[in-house]
Structure formats: structure tokens, C-alpha cells
Structure 1
Amino acid sequence: MLKSNEKLFRIIELLLEKGSAGVTELADDTPYHKSTVYTHLQTLQENGWAFKSDGTYQLSLKFLTISEQIKNQRSVFQHGHEEIDSLANETGELSYLAVPEDDVVTILHYARGEKATLSVTAGATVPITEHSVGKVLLAFQSETDRSEIDEYPSSDVFMDSDADISEALEEARRNGFVVSNERDGSGPSIAEPDQSGPRSESHLTDVQHKTVAAPVLDDDDEPLAVVAVTGLSKRINGEYEERICQQVVRAAAVIERKLDVERSVPASNRD
């Protein structure tokens, strides 16, 4: 990456982190000279990516427009967001659609049911090897893509027993879904306790929760996305857990069918 671009992105990241900041503050938090920081801020301002108020700079809502456009361009979002909303209504839990991007999992869309004590943020990412939804992606990737799975460190994200990772992923492929237990604070997580509501459970720092996830596959049976539901482990068990597994798999299958229809339309038009 060009040094100038690297500096620009670092300044954007700092503004995002701080909310607002002046030239001196940004220069103090980077190895860049004040004149360099000022030049990049001026570039952002002139192009509508930032604005100045009371002597400090803030990122503009133009970034929001870009993120919405990127999301809406994704076919899996177009055909999947309504299913995620319905899943949240049906289960009452936190439901979300996540997609692989290189070696991370990114939240594309989410909805919170009435019982949800957890929350996520659209655009949030975690390493694909360190979250339960990543287990689904790894399980359904081609053999070539999964060639280095045995090198991944064993963790509770991949299994709830002493079985090796390959066996855990093979079981996920047989079932068509995964069920994983996670504990807040034990590592990277997409779902976090909701700190805003009145629910006392949402403010606990050591809450165990469970994720049920199923893949959305393309024509080559490669994973395009993951449909997931996350809730408190003490609630998601027994028959209720079985029902959620069925609902998650069904939602993923509906999204797949919608995508299949979309892909078939251009071919039928050519006929």
C-alpha cells in the first residue's frame, strides 16, 4: 500500500474511533507531522468525507451512504434480509446473516427478537477461525480451501468435546448446521451482551450463549453466507434448540432458492 494511502486510512480510523479530533490531537496519536495530517483532513473535507465543526473534524454521513450501497448490492442481502427478520420474529432471539470476506466473517444484516439479550453491529468482523459461524464456512468449503484446517488451534469455537477439528467439521457437514457454545470474554465474538435494555441477564460479564448456524450455498455447494441465531445457552436447549435448528436451516434454504431463481432468470431470458 502506498504510504500516503496508509496515512489517510489511519486518520480515518482515528476519527472513527474518537468521533471528532483536531489536527494536533491526530498528529500526537500518529507518527505523522501536523502538516501531513492537515493535508489529509483537507482532502477528506473537500471530497465530502469529513467536515469541520468547532475546530475539530468529524467523518461525514457519506460513509453511511457508501456502506448502504455496498450492502444493497449483495444478492444475498437482497434475498436474505427478510428471512432474517422473520427468523428473529419466529424465535425471539438475535438472528443474523454473515458473509465470508477473505479470512474474516462479516455481519451483513441482523434482527433482534423480543427475547434477545445480545446484540451485533452490521459490518462487525471476527476471524473466520475464531467464531462459531466460521465453523460453518470452513465445514462447507472445498477440500482445497480446507487443506490447512488441521493447522488451526483447537478451541471451543470448533468443538465442545476432545474430538479433533476435522471430525467436528465433518459432523457439521453431515448435519447441515452447527451448534456451538461460547462464553463472553473468552475470545473474539460477533454477538455481545446488550448494555442498553432493562434485562438483568444482558449486563452479566460471564454469560454463556449458544449459536445455531447453517450455510447458504451456491451452485457449486460453496458457502456464500451463514444464517445464525444466538441466544442464552440456558434457554436454547432440548426441543427448543431442535426447533431453532430447523428454523435456521429452513431460512438458509429459502435464501438459497431465491438466489437460484435470480441466477436462472438471465438464462431463461436468453432462450
Structure 2
Amino acid sequence: MSKQKNRMVDAVVISSNIIWTLQEQNGAGVTELANRLGHSKSTVHNHLQTLENQRLVVKDDSQYRLSLRFLDVASHVKNQLPNYDIIREEVDSLAEETGEVAQFGIEEHGRVSYLYKSSGSRGVETASSVGTQQTIHSTSLGKSIMAHMPKERVHEILDRRGMAARTDHTITDRDELFHKLAEIRERGYAIDDQENVEGLCCIAAPVKSDHGDLGAVSVSWPSSRFGADAFIDELPAKIMRAANVIELNSKFG
């Protein structure tokens, strides 16, 4: 058992898993939560009562749901980022200009966390949404961020998170990934050609700060419309321009 696991508090883990499950299921009862999480109904009930007392969940008849306090938490997290308005403006502009889905993400806990998302006139629904996380090695956002991380940090993330195949196109070899990261640093942007979601292509450019913080901005589109190569001549310049505006006019942290 790792030192990290030894330091974990079981009660907090159980409560956290209850919260994530309530989010995923749009609410649930004690029995459903107990079955899904593998805990006794009494254990789940005790945790739900505590979460209700802390005003984090609400009970409607026999069902529990997340409370509106999470909106306040989300607003607070968003307001911690002094560059949020700039990110929103540039991502909205990029979505409008390209007609596709544009996004901004940062690295947290070795994964890509989506901070903002905007859909253009031709944009299609993607698996990501604000606040969700994706594997870092399979996304263009993630690869563009990793390309500018210290090599030791990249190894640390891969050791912890692995390199699971999301699709048949996902890079799962570490040496191949480091070769791709070198290419990304040289050309200034990353490509996801159906590596994270089958049928979805994406190009991303990194946003760096003087403090070493890293983010990235991207544009996604369905491969059925165009392959990744079709946009190589025009799209990277637009994305890198948006990334540059965010980088020059804001700071992270």
C-alpha cells in the first residue's frame, strides 16, 4: 500500500464517492447508492445525513440530490482565476470564427480539467463539459500542456495515470508519446486525430505563464466532416493566436 493511500481518510472517500455518484445519476436513493458503491445502507445513510446537515445534499422524498451550494463553490473557483474573462472572450471568439467547439483546459491531478467551452454554429456535442476531466495523454489539450512540462513531471503523471487506450488511435507507448511532445514543442500545437474519442478530431495550442502554470485552448470537430489534415493549413494559426492573446493579457494563479 502506497504512502498516499495510507494518508487517505476512508470517511472522506466515501462521502466524495457519494457526491460524484449523485452528480452522475442526477440523484439517487440510499439503496441505489449502497449497491453502486458497495457499502451498507446504514453507512451510506449516515454519510448522507452528514452531507445534508452540511447543506451539501438535499433530500426530496426518498431521493437525494446535490444542493445549490455547489453553484457557489463553482462560482468561487471560477473567480479565483483572474484571467477567466479573457479566456471566455477568446474561446467564444474562436468558436464563432471557426463554427466549431472551442475549449480551454488546465492540468489538475495529472488530468485535463475543462474550464470553459463554447460551441460555434456547426459545433457538435463532445464528451467534455466544464468541470469534467479527461486523460491527458490522449487529448490535444493534454498533449500541448505536457509538451511544456518538465520531463520528470510527465513521467510522474504517466506512472500514476498510465496510458490507457481510449480508441484504436491512442498513443500508448511512452517513447512514442515523448517523440510527439517534441514535435508539438517545435510546431507550437498538438493534434488529436480520434485519439480520445472515435470520430472526433481536435487541435490545441498551449498557454503559458511566467509562474510556470500551463493551460491550452483547442478546437474540436467531427472527423466525418474533415480529417485532421484538412485543417492543418488554417486552424492552428487561429488557435495559436487565441492562445497568445490569453497568454499576453493574463496570468495564472
TM-score (norm 1): 0.76
Contact 2:15/2:47 (CA < 8 Å) preserved in 1? yes
1:138 correspondence with 2:146: yes
| 1:124 aligned residue (132, 138, 154) | 132
Change in Cα spacing, 1:65 to 1:150, as seen in structure 2 (3 Å) is closer
Amino acid at match of 1:101: E
Change in Cα spacing, 1:50 to 1:89, as seen in structure 2 (3 Å) is same
> Which moved further from structure 2: 210-219 or 130-139?
130-139
Paired position in structure 2 for 1:166? 178
1:229 correspondence with 2:219: yes
Contact 1:51/1:57 (CA < 8 Å) preserved in 2? yes
Q: What SS does structure 1 have at the residue aligned with 2:112?
A: strand
Provide Cα deviations, 1:60-91, integer angstroms capped at 9, x if missing partner.
12112212221221234343111001100111
| 1:175 aligned residue (187, 208, 220) | 187
Shift of 1:27: 2.9
Q: What SS does structure 1 have at the residue aligned with 2:214?
A: strand
Paired position in structure 2 for 1:42? 49
Counterparts of 1:80-119 in structure 2 under 5 Å? 80-119=87-126
Shift of 1:165: 2.9
Amino acid at match of 1:229: V
Amino acid at match of 2:215: A
Unpaired runs of at least 5, structure 1: 190-205, 264-271
Contact 2:201/2:228 (CA < 8 Å) preserved in 1? no
Amino acid at match of 1:227: V
Q: What SS does structure 1 have at the residue aligned with 2:234?
A: helix
| 2:207 aligned residue (205, 216, 238) | 216
Amino acid at match of 1:230: S
Q: Give distance in 2, aligned partners of 1:27 and 1:133.
A: 36
Contact 1:95/1:227 (CA < 8 Å) preserved in 2? yes
Q: Give distance in 2, aligned partners of 1:58 and 1:239.
A: 45
Amino acid at match of 2:147: A
Provide Cα deviations, 1:170-189, integer angstroms capped at 9, x if missing partner.
11111111223116xxxx54
Percent identical: 31
Change in Cα spacing, 1:53 to 1:251, as seen in structure 2 (3 Å) is same
Paired position in structure 1 for 2:4? none
Provide Cα deviations, 1:164-207, integer angstroms capped at 9, x if missing partner.
33332211111111223116xxxx54xxxxxxxxxxxxxxxx63
Return the index of the structure with the highest Cα Rg.
1
> Which moved further from structure 2: 149-158 or 131-140?
149-158
Change in Cα spacing, 1:80 to 1:171, as seen in structure 2 (3 Å) is same
Contact 2:192/2:203 (CA < 8 Å) preserved in 1? yes
Unpaired runs of at least 5, structure 2: 1-7
Q: Give distance in 1, aligned partners of 2:30 and 2:154.
A: 46
Aligned pair count reads 237
Shift of 1:149: 9.1
1:13 correspondence with 2:20: yes
Shift of 1:240: 4.7
Change in Cα spacing, 1:144 to 1:38, as seen in structure 2 (3 Å) is closer
Paired position in structure 2 for 1:258? 249
Q: What SS does structure 1 have at the residue aligned with 2:152?
A: coil
Change in Cα spacing, 1:249 to 1:158, as seen in structure 2 (3 Å) is farther
